[in-house]
Copies of this chain bind each other. A is one copy, B any other.
Amino acid sequence: MRMTKHTAVLQVLICILLISLNGYSQEHPNLILTKDGVQKIRAELGNAPLFDATLAKVKAEVDAEIALGIETPIPKDYSGGYTHERHKRNFLILQKAGVLYQILNDEKYALYIKDMLFQYEGMYKDLPVHPQTRSYARGKLFWQCLNDSNWLVYVSQAYDCVYNYLTKKERKQLEKNLFRPFADYISIENPQFYNRVHNHSTWGNAAVGMIGLVMNDEELIHRALYGIEDDGLPIGAKDNDGGFIKVEGQEVGFLANVNEPFSPEGYYTEGPYYQRYAMYPFLIFAEALHNVKPDVKIFEYKDSVLLKSVEVLIKLSDADGEFFPLNDAQKGMSYKSREVVTALDIAYHYGGHNPELLSIAEEQGQVLLDDSGLAVALGIRDGKAKKFQKKSINLTDGAKGNEGGVGILRYGNEDMTLVYKYAAQGLSHGHYDKLSFSLYEKGTEILQDYGLARFVNIEQKGGGNYLKENTTWAKQTIAHNTLVQNETSHFGGKYEVGSKHHSELYFFDDSNPEVQIVSAKETNAYPGTEMQRTMALIKTDGFEKPFLLDILKVVSKTENQYDLPFYFKGQVMQTNFDFTTPKTLEAWGSANGYQHLWTEGIGSPKEDNTKLSWLENGHFYTLTTTSSKDDDLRFVRIGANDPEFNLRRDAGLVIRRKNTQNTTFVSVIESHGNYSPVSEFSVNSNSAISKIELMSDTNEYTSVLIETKSNGEQLVLVVANINKQKDKEHTITINGKEYRWTGPYKFIKVK
């Protein structure tokens, strides 16, 4: 037996051993559906509108598939291709058919499952490894073990639903020829896939665990929870996304995958897009463990982190419910996805019936067809739903919550949202951007994070897989709204280096809704250079809406060239500087993402402040930033060296400051006014700021001033750069005027 350092893990282990020694026999279904639960569901049919509606939809979908007949083609394609999509559809339908069989007690669903399972059984025995070779862990039904694991997670549920419908002999045949070898293939035969801390492994662990629970196979259950003891993998091996497979001292298995990537509050280090993806195996296997092995107390594990993480995931979305695209993330993914339906229903049911989750379930418009989904539907029916309040929040990263984090500042009813990333690398799906940010007005991106370069499951685009532009563009620092030094990415774009570091929170304060502020420091991205970025969301008189104040202080041991991009979306309205637009467009650079940027215009500051206004989605926006006279101001357009049109033609303005050692960029982004193409009224189309100024900037203190046009009011923010103690008193004199305050910063209306 393998000993661990963690008492919690040990306790779980002992429980399982005790249970398995008892050797009690199981009734079915008991995995996701339970015998009691099914009785309760049947009793409520017709009385829980959202459940009934989901059931009707699922029934129509499955009936249509049954009418089409069963197809289990020989595996051939990448994702997006026919065989991939067919097998994917099969496992989704099998799971649903199982549920229908239990709830509706109609044998046709059981028969359909049985027939398809035996078709798979007949095929799997002799199936070679999938012919497509791109994956570091090729599957059999699919091009990668990951998708094979998806299959088994879903099909285990179907198997559980028809377990008692099948004869003992039939079960034996399926388990011997299909399920057991399937589970072994994705685990023992592919430890480089199975034995990691990674969303891939979470799927693999859950798959092995769930079929183990149905088969009552303690060996598989143990392998699911704790991984493979002796995997023979070399330390430092990498997958085809460049992620580490094995790190020295790495714990593995499902529990390790709960322990490591989640911070104590429930932030998942890969970011919300992959958290969403992983939530399904995390929560569905947890529900199964809860049902079959209640003594594991999985929902209480690591201070209930799995339940917490569901609410965190929802908080990581914009006003339309779309996830912030931190790290690799396909834009448009939202909490309406099927994975989050599952996670949310389970979190509601097993997490204390938080009524705010019900309003999200209403938006999702569907529920799980199990006990938890019924609970949600009944809660909604009984009018218990409350609006989910997305407030400002600071989320730590890292298993212990000490590896940086993500700060989210929200004003009003998500009227304006800042997403500020000072996190850890985020495993192999991480991007090289520290102290970067994106800004939203409701569900509209104002300053964007590019997201990933991939068209998930669209076969025409590189088999639906990551495109090379994901590495050459999307992951690079210049693709993000943060500082680039000497045209190189943070950590030299090296995963090994980036994985060792994270930024540090300096302070976060959302106690005053009119002046919310977050500050963080990064000292490792460029050795010898220290960056501190302080961002504040401020609403005050003279401004129609809150504005974002951005102070980026750079202190270096050497002279460097600094680039600070702002990827605005929309149409340029006005600048206060002159620029020329070249007759021919050339790529700005040759590496680190610069090779993908066309230079569309180039100019230099005319005044102490540089201004750019643009119009997007019926709103006007203005960036005002302090300038040095030698700055270059460059309009860029994404899309150079993009031979297959994989990139969007989005725009940015990059401020370049050359031959500079220490400098501080001060910028304000305002949203103001509106324009409607129907009324053709243009309202409040100008910035409210007459000037911004870096008033003083020392090692210890940085102070900035914002002056408004309407009433000449002066707003000052002073930041103590070294001592952040809340009770520390500060006194400084700026331009002959003394400022006194307590704590790491002070916002003052001077006039």
User: Which residues of A approach B to under 8 Å, CB–CB?
Assistant: 80, 85, 330-334, 336-338, 455-461, 464, 571-574, 580-581, 583-587, 598, 600-601, 613, 615, 635, 637, 639, 641-645, 648-649, 651, 675-682, 685
Flag if B573 contacts A458 (CB, 8 Å).
yes
Q: Which residues of chain B are near A585, meaning CB under 8 Å? A: 584-586, 598
The smallest C-beta distance from A44 to any residue of chain B, in angstroms, reads 28
Q: Which of B598, B645, B678 contacts A571 (CB 8 A)?
A: B645
- Residues in B whose Cβ lies below 8 Å from that of A581: 641-643
Contacts of A598 in B (CB 8 A): 585
* In the complex, chain B residues whose CB is within 8 Å of the CB of A572: 644-645
Q: A275: shortest Cβ distance to chain B, in Å? A: 15
* Nearest-Cβ distance from residue A588 to partner chain B, whole angstroms: 12
Nearest neighbor of A337 in chain B, beta-carbon distance: B678
Cα of A338 to Cα of B601 in the assembled complex, Å: 39
Q: Do residues B336 and A682 form an inter-chain contact, with CB atoms below 8 A?
A: no
> Which residue of chain B lies nearest to A574 when distances are taken between CB atoms in the complex?
B460
B332-A678 in contact (CB<8A): yes
Q: Which residues of the partner chain B approach A679 to less than 8 Å between Cβ atoms? A: 337-338
Q: Residue of B at shortest CB range from A645?
A: B572
State A552–B637 Cα separation when bound (angstroms): 35
Nearest-neighbour CB distance to chain B for A469, whole angstroms, equals: 13
Chain A interface helix/strand/loop/mixed: loop
Complex CA gap A443/B336 in Å reads 24
Check B333–A675 contact: CB distance below 8 A.
no
Q: Note all chain B residues with C-beta closer than 8 A to A338.
A: 679
- Whether A680 and B461, one on each chain, are in contact in the complex, defined by CB atoms closer than 8 angstroms, is no
Q: Decide: A677 near B330, CB < 8 A? Known: A459-B682, A573-B460, A584-B585.
A: yes
* Known interface pairs A331-B677, A677-B331; A85-B682 also in contact (CB < 8 Å): yes
In angstroms, Cα B462 to Cα A563, docked, is 31
Q: How far is the CA of A584 from the CA of B459 in the complex (A)?
A: 29
CB contact under 8 A between A571 and B80, given known A458-B685, A459-B682, A584-B586:
no
CB distance from A620 to the nearest CB of B (A): 9
Given A85-B681, A457-B681, A583-B586, output 17 extra A-B contacts at Cβ < 8 Å: A85-B682, A330-B677, A333-B680, A336-B678, A337-B679, A455-B615, A456-B680, A457-B680, A458-B682, A460-B613, A460-B685, A581-B642, A584-B584, A584-B585, A585-B585, A585-B598, A649-B651
Pair B583/A587 contact, Cβ less than 8 Å: yes
**Chain B residues whose CB sits within 8 angstroms of the CB of A459 once the complex forms:** 682, 685
Asked whether B573 lies within 8 Å of A675 as measured between CB atoms, the reply is no
Top 10 A-B pairs, shortest CB-CB distance? A332-B677, A572-B645, A585-B585, A460-B574, A460-B573, A584-B584, A457-B682, A581-B643, A458-B682, A456-B680
* Residues in B whose Cβ lies below 8 Å from that of A644: 572
Q: A334 — which chain B residues lie within 8 A by C-beta?
A: 678
A108-B563 Cα distance, complex, nearest whole Å: 59
- Give the distance in Å from the alpha carbon of A339 to the alpha carbon of B233 in the complex: 73
* A458 with B678: CB separation less than 8 A: no
Residue of B whose beta carbon sits closest to that of A647: B571
Cβ contact within 8 Å between B637 and A649: yes
CA distance A333 to B677 in the complex (A): 5
Evaluate contact between A461 and B678: CB separation under 8 angstroms: no
Docked-complex contact A648 and B571, CB < 8 angstroms? yes
